[in-house]
């Protein structure tokens, strides 16, 4: 987990360290969609409602997501949750050690991010200016879609410094005022979509590029 020195866009807090995930878990193949949110909650908070029910729900805070999970649990008699930061990065990498699951580069044809001002600026889809329907791009080696770009994804973890040594099944809880979000979005550049990139928001924050996917054991 983390990134090696010299990785483009690397931030100092991305200290590489060994993590063991000892228990299997399920992770949603896609981000939770507007249609799924509406079926559970009876309303659609998204800024980009015109994108349609197959687009990721956004404008949801971490607290909103907890309310969604509680209602979904009661409807299904199952126990859903947000992935931990470690689980998320494991899923994003899908067995790779490169900045992206696609290798050292990520093109606008492979993910929905803002490529304006980059080497890919000439692409006709360099900046789509909105989320795209989930699974619009190829899945990674684990069969998961849109872990790079589209919308940022909430994790369960507080934003805490990484441990100095190896850890097992970490769940960060350091009374931080911020939660970790991962994956970049349609509004952010390629480097923000790196597997190791950590970004944060306060749990009460909402935005047109803030979404999530579900985990379950």
Q: Locate tokens 């689980």: which residue?
A: 87
- Mean per-residue pLDDT for 40-46? 98
- Mean per-residue pLDDT for 125-141? 98
Kindly indicate the confidence band of residue 164, based on its pLDDT and cuts at 50, 70 and 90. Answer: confident
**Cβ of 2: how many Cβ atoms within 10 Å?**
17
Kindly indicate the confidence band of residue 217, based on its pLDDT and cuts at 50, 70 and 90. Answer: confident
The CATH number of whichever domain residue 183 belongs to comes to 3.90.1580.10
Residue 97 belongs to a domain: yes
Kindly indicate the confidence band of residue 114, based on its pLDDT and cuts at 50, 70 and 90. Answer: very high
**Cβ of 191: how many Cβ atoms within 10 Å?**
18
Q: What integer best gives the mean pLDDT of the chain?
A: 97
Structure tokens at 35: 């249609």
The pLDDT, as a whole number, for residue 33 is 99
Q: What is the span of the domain harbouring residue 87?
A: 1-16+24-212
Residue 192 belongs to a domain: yes
| pLDDT tens readout for residues 135-149 | 999 999 999 999 999
Residue 185 belongs to a domain: yes
Q: Residue 215: which H helix or E strand, with range?
A: strand 215-216
- What is the tally of structural domains in the chain? 1
Residue 217 belongs to a domain: no
% of the chain exceeding 90 in pLDDT: 99
% of the chain exceeding 70 in pLDDT: 100
The pLDDT, as a whole number, for residue 152 is 98
Residue 92 belongs to a domain: yes
């Amino acid at each position: 987990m983390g990134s090696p020195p010299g990785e483009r866009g690397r931030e100092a807090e991305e200290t590489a360290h060994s993590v063991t995930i000892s228990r299997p878990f399920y992770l949603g193949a896609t981000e939770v969609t507007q249609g799924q949110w509406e079926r559970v909650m009876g309303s659609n908070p998204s800024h980009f409602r015109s994108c349609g029910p197959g687009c990721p729900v956004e404008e949801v805070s971490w607290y909103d997501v907890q309310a969604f999970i509680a209602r979904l649990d009661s409807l299904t008699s199952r126990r859903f949750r947000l992935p931990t930061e470690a689980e998320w990065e494991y899923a994003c990498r899908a067995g790779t050690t490169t900045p992206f699951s696609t290798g050292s580069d990520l093109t606008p044809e492979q993910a929905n991010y803002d490529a304006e001002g980059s080497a890919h600026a000439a692409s006709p889809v360099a900046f789509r200016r909105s989320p795209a329907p989930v699974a619009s791009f190829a899945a990674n080696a684990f069969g998961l879609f849109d872990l790079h770009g589209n919308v940022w994804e909430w994790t369960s973890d507080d934003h805490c410094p990484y441990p100095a040594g190896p850890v097992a099944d970490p769940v960060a809880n350091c009374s931080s005022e911020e939660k970790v979000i991962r994956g970049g979005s349609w509004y952010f550049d390629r480097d923000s979509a790196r597997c190791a990139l950590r970004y944060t928001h306060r749990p009460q924050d909402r935005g047109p590029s803030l979404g999530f996917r579900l985990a379950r054991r």
